Amino acid sequence: MKTGKVFLVGAGPGDVGLITVKGMEAIKQAEVILYDRLANPKLLEYATGDCELIYCGKLPDRHILRQENINDLLVEKALAGKIVVRLKGGDPGVFGRVGEEAAALALYQIPFEIVPGISSGIAAPLYAGIPVTHRDHAESFAVVTAHDKSKEGKPLLDWEGLVRGVDTIAFYMGVGNLPFICENLVNQGKPASTPVILIQWGTFGRQKTLQGTLADISEKVLKAKFTNPAIILVGEVISLREKISWFESKPLYGRQILLARTGESVSGMAQHLMDQGADVIEFPKWKKTVLPVDLKKVSSYDKILFTSPESVGEFFSAVFENGVDIRKIHADFFGASTKSVKALNDRGFIAQLAEEMPETGNLLIVGDDSILRRNSENANLMVTSKKELDFQFLPIFKRMLEEADGNTMVFPSSASVEPFIEALRESDIDTVELLKDLQVVSMGKQTMAAVEAAGLPSHGMPEKATKEALVDYLAGHLIKDV
């Protein structure tokens, strides 16, 4: 059997847009991905549907997989001929133990590549409005581990060298050792008034910061119950934050949104919300199997209704693959949503929404197997694909919920409500309990009616069912205490 290959990939600090092009290409071709806690799980959605996902997450008080087990798994999967991605938060060469993993692969002569990533020690400060160097404030920068592998976990560092030779210091994952860090820096001559900032979950929408000085930051952390994962930044350059903070000025900064999903890929709405500063968890994750279709009678219909953008692509792919001349299809095209209409428009067809469809004429409804559940006495059905819950993502979703502090729920369509509830049931999560403290927003009257009919809390809707109107609504309505 041919040996596979391993890519040791830096996932970046959290914002999925910060992964490198090469890192994303590795994810898309992977057959196995071993991923860490600090690698944004949303990156896994770019993997193929049959990719094996293995969680290697580590917490201070427990290890899911120990490093030696991770090394063994990388070797085992590669020797089985697989393309393997080891997905690590930040940059794999910065406290990522990539050297140990690469050495294990080299021992078995397994080909591998190391793909750098953006390190949290640089990215998190920038998202907080702080460049780690500045010619007026800081000409040097150091990244430092804030704990070691000793029993006490106190880092053995050249404290005198750090104070004398470095202007800006980024300590990684050091909240528990913060008093020890501050004490040693002050003892070696760093002024007690030196600015310090802690940046938790840097570059995520849930990013939080806490600012102080070497003299008072430890007490502030205790009061705020501030925890890892966090970067501790020390240096005068922090003073620039007041002038150039940009990320926290975005309209949806602080919004942690749970978005009900009906499609297989990351939605345009989710991307737009993230661009405006929100954290977005899409649920559920679906996987699809494209089915063969019978196109013999397709030219006999007066109207064709497409239930989703995906069904548009599946239909026309089948038309092409079966050698059907599109000019022989005389039907008027309709979409069940604005996204479906746009998918038709993008292919050069004038299409209208379903509510504008006349009652007369032969109707063909095109969509995935969910259309089999609808009342279609006056229409024929063409099932282009089978959509089912991707059970591999259920534990991933649970971990995402645990890490986040959700405050907003968005239902984009009435068709998203029931699948969302069913998928939560599969995850042993009670929908009402999950949403009881969240601001629940519906996209349109029909969606709100479906939400209320399901017995779920409902708090309003934007003026129009567009992603731009949704951003305006969320920015203008404070998160409710419900």
Structure confidence by residue, pLDDT tens digits, 134-157: 999 999 999 999 877 666 778 889
Mean pLDDT computed over 353-382: 88
Token pair for 239: 């003073």
pLDDT (tens digit, 9 = 90+) per residue, 72-108?
999 999 999 999 999 999 999 999 999 999 999 999 9
pLDDT, residue 287, reads 87
pLDDT, residue 61, reads 54
pLDDT, residue 150, reads 65
Q: Where are the domains of the chain?
A: 5-117, 122-247, 256-285+390-476, 288-389
CATH node for 5-117: 3.40.1010.10
pLDDT, residue 415, reads 84
pLDDT, residue 448, reads 96
Mean pLDDT computed over 283-311: 93
pLDDT, residue 268, reads 86
Q: How far apart are CA 195 and CA 173, in angstroms?
A: 18
Task: Assign 129 a pLDDT band (cuts: 50, 70, 90).
Answer: very high
Q: How far apart are CA 384 and CA 375, in angstroms?
A: 18
E strand or H helix that includes residue 448: helix 445-453
Q: Do domains 5-117 and 122-247 have the same CATH topology?
A: no
On the question of pLDDT at 64 being above 90, the answer is no
Q: Residue 185: which region, alpha, beta or left (left: phi > 0; alpha: psi -120 to 50)?
A: alpha
pLDDT, residue 338, reads 84
pLDDT, residue 33, reads 98
In sequence order, which residues have a C-beta less than 8 Å from that of residue 306 and are 6 or more positions away? 312, 315, 333, 334, 335, 336, 340, 343, 344, 351, 366, 367
Sort strands 256-260 and 208-213 into parallel, antiparallel or unpaired.
unpaired
Token pair for 112: 């591998």
pLDDT, residue 424, reads 95
Long-range contacts of 49-56 (CB under 8 A, 24+ apart): 49/287, 49/288, 49/390, 53/392, 53/396, 55/395, 55/396, 55/399
pLDDT, residue 374, reads 72
Percentage of residues of the chain with pLDDT beyond 90: 83
Residues assigned a catalytic role: 36, 58, 173
pLDDT, residue 63, reads 60
pLDDT, residue 333, reads 97
On the question of pLDDT at 20 being above 90, the answer is yes
pLDDT (tens digit, 9 = 90+) per residue, 402-415?
889 999 999 998 88
On the question of pLDDT at 25 being above 80, the answer is yes
Long-range contacts of 343-352 (CB under 8 A, 24+ apart): 343/306, 343/309, 343/312, 343/313, 344/306, 344/312, 347/312, 347/316, 351/306
Mean pLDDT computed over 174-203: 96
**pTM of the predicted structure, to 2 decimals:** 0.87
On the question of pLDDT at 479 being above 90, the answer is no
Mean pLDDT computed over 167-172: 96
Mean pLDDT computed over 180-207: 96
Domain covering 256-285+390-476 assigned CATH 3.40.50.10090 in the classification:
yes
**CA 293 centroid distance within chain:** 34
CATH topology of domain 288-389: Rossmann fold (3.40.50)
pLDDT, residue 478, reads 75
Mean pLDDT computed over 46-58: 90
Mean pLDDT computed over 23-52: 95
pLDDT, residue 59, reads 58
On the question of pLDDT at 58 being above 80, the answer is no
Domain 122-247 in this protein, CATH class: alpha beta
Q: How far apart are CA 384 and CA 257, in angstroms?
A: 31
Task: Assign 477 a pLDDT band (cuts: 50, 70, 90).
Answer: confident
On the question of pLDDT at 313 being above 60, the answer is yes
Residue 372 main-chain phi, psi, to 5 deg: -70, -20
Q: How far apart are CA 18 and CA 38, in angstroms?
A: 13
Mean pLDDT computed over 242-254: 94
On the question of pLDDT at 264 being above 90, the answer is no
pLDDT, residue 149, reads 66
Mean pLDDT computed over 60-83: 87
Which residues is 256 bridged to in the sheet?
A: 279
Average pLDDT over the chain, rounded to whole? 93
